[in-house]
Amino acid sequence: MDMGSSSSSSSGASCKISMLWNWYTVDACFLSKQWHIRTVGAYVGSLIAIFTWVVVLEAFRRLSREYDRRIMMEWNSSRADVETNTHDSVKGLKGLGGITRFGNSNGEFQPTHTQQLIRSIFHTVQFGAGYLLMLLAMYYNGGIIFVIFVSTFVGYFISGRDMGAGGSQSEGGKECC
């Protein structure tokens, strides 16, 4: 299988691909032949793009956690309304205890199909972006790996300040669903 080492661009330069630690800048290729770094400026631009990508990914993870918290608050609110209506009713609302807006028959939270679709989209985007970042890291390019680590720190510093109940960090919706 040709690893692209003999492919040539219009300038005749080929991609430098190494599975060992390297600091290649010019003629490095990432993910495909089309991502062929031909100048130092293109390499710096790639580093900036990767930095932005990771920071946005961390913000997207925060958005996912916020969405999970929102649907849990809606469910808790609707459950409280049902309990209030059940206790306040003169006739009582026989059988209503098992019928809640977002719940299953046991009264446990279960997202609606639309909510689960949105949660699945969040998860798929996070998984896909993370997988592509892992593939980038597997080029063992020092600059790329350094930028991934620094941008993860910056992105989490900016977006990871949300704390769940009891001061614990919510981990991708584990307290939900």
Structural domain count of the chain: 1
Q: Please give the Cα distance from 67 to 56 (Å, whole number).
A: 16
* Structural domain that includes position 117: 44-162
Specify whether the CB–CB gap between 72 and 78 falls below 8 A: no
pTM for the whole structure = 0.71
The answer to the question of residue 67 being in a domain is yes
The answer to the question of residue 119 being in a domain is yes
Which tens digit of pLDDT belongs to each residue from 59-113? Answer: 999 999 999 999 988 888 876 555 555 555 544 444 444 444 455 556 678 889 9
Which tens digit of pLDDT belongs to each residue from 126-177? Answer: 999 999 999 999 999 999 999 999 999 999 999 999 876 544 454 544 555 5
The answer to the question of residue 125 being in a domain is yes
The answer to the question of residue 107 being in a domain is yes
The answer to the question of residue 167 being in a domain is no
The answer to the question of residue 169 being in a domain is no
